[in-house]
Amino acid sequence: MDVKKESSNFFKVGLCDKAFVFFISIFAFLVPIDKQMANTALIFLTISFLFLLRKYKVNYTLFFQQPLVKPLGCFFATLLVSIIFSSNILISIREYLRMITCVLPFLFFAILSVCNHSVPCDLKQRSIHCYMGGCLISALYAIYQYLTTKQLYVTSFYAHHAMFGSFMEVVLPLLAVFFIAQPNYKKKILYFFLGLVCLAALILTQARGPWLGAGIALFVVLIAMRNKLYVNKKSITASIVLIAIVLVMASPLYLNRVKTITDLNWASNYHRVLIWESTIHMIQDYPLTGVGLGQFRKIYNAQYISPLSQEPFHLHAHNSYLMYAAENGLINLLAFIYLLFSIGKSLFEKQKLRDPIGIAVLAVFVALLTNSMVDSFFWATHLAKILWLFIGIALYNLQVRGGISDLKDIRAYVGKE
């Protein structure tokens, strides 16, 4: 079909098109600020997507050939089978539906890529920039909390410091990639100072899991873009020096906390080990079926909590992999690992093409895989939707309209040797 003709037909969609672009931007902006408001934006985004989809015919043959569609289907199929053996099927079904809503942003991109739908040329960047904007507001509020209370473990708009820290963990590699890849020096400076604000907020959270994840993610960014660091040696060197100065000045806020990461006698570390040991016992008792999706909290605290634990109640296993094996059995764990492997492989292929967004999302993915070894973040209600949105943004090449995007300029810049 002729691109101009298709673009002309697309503009007839009018309000639905504008609504889809608007709500995907609003959703990305609200995620780090308020979960309920972000979920409301996702509802409107879904409605606008359904109206938009009425104008196009989906090629389902191509859809099932898209990256991650089959691994995702395999994961949810095995998960559905495990629900049959759940100790509370209704709760498991509710949790199952919640997890499906988490992948909706990803599915929107997967479907749009096979129905000749054209999107604004800057939609991908706009979505990421909106998330950065939301993170900036959240980070500034967290810094305000610290300045007014002099208390660490800031939570910003969320209830727990680790939840807020996970948003900073996600945004820092995005900012790092855009900073390195951006040819415009004014924008480069903007990304740098946004990164400093978010880094300061992350330090104030005292959340060690997000610290580890962010550190490894930034290392991935440096490795993936190592050939590009030489393009602007002066700006990169100056940035590293400034960051080093900030970290040295802020060291009293984090140095003692960092030392506890490998200390097994530290209370939270000790209790995590107890939880992991008890979770392994649960897996041994229910190896194939698990105790049921969404049932860990109930079964663990009733039957498996360690008598040595000083905490009377635990919400999760503090390890995503053990958590899913305990709840859904080893078969679903294998499907989960297959899904993770497929995501990593697809993103790795993108970064080999020197796609900056592919590199950024790969770094975010690695960060959350790391953090998921000490917490339950991968399918967490506050984080999973934005993760799947970014995976969809990274993997799918949508037909664009409206001129040349800044993203193309960045890609051309990144492609230089």
Amino acid occupying residue 122: D
Digitized pLDDT (tens) for each residue of the chain, 417 residues in all: 344 444 444 444 467 778 888 999 999 999 999 999 999 999 999 999 998 888 777 778 888 888 899 999 999 999 999 999 998 999 999 999 999 999 999 999 888 888 766 666 678 899 999 999 999 999 999 999 999 999 999 999 999 999 999 999 999 999 999 999 888 888 999 999 999 999 999 999 999 999 999 999 999 999 998 877 776 777 777 778 888 888 888 888 888 888 888 888 888 888 888 889 999 999 999 999 999 999 998 998 888 888 777 767 777 888 999 999 999 999 999 999 999 999 999 999 887 777 889 999 999 999 999 999 988 888 988 899 999 999 998 887 654 444 434 444 444 434 443
| Cβ contacts of 308 within 8 Å, gap of 6 or more | 274
Q: Are 86 and 292 in contact (CB under 8 A)?
A: yes
Q: Are 64 and 70 in contact (CB under 8 A)?
A: yes
Task: Determine the Cα–Cα distance for residues 37 and 86; give it in Å rounded to an integer.
Answer: 31
* Bridge partners, 399 (sequence order): 118
Amino acid occupying residue 64: F
Task: Determine the Cα–Cα distance for residues 201 and 70; give it in Å rounded to an integer.
Answer: 38
Q: Are 359 and 344 in contact (CB under 8 A)?
A: no
Q: What is 144-187 written as a DSSP string?
A: HHHHHH--SS--TTSSSHHHHHHHHHHHHHHHHHHHHH---HHH
Q: What CA–CA distances, in Å, run from 177 to 182, 257, 355? A: 8, 27, 10
Domain ranges, ordered by start, for the chain: 63-114+155-264+319-323+325-397
Report residue 400: phi and psi, to 5°.
Answer: -110, 165
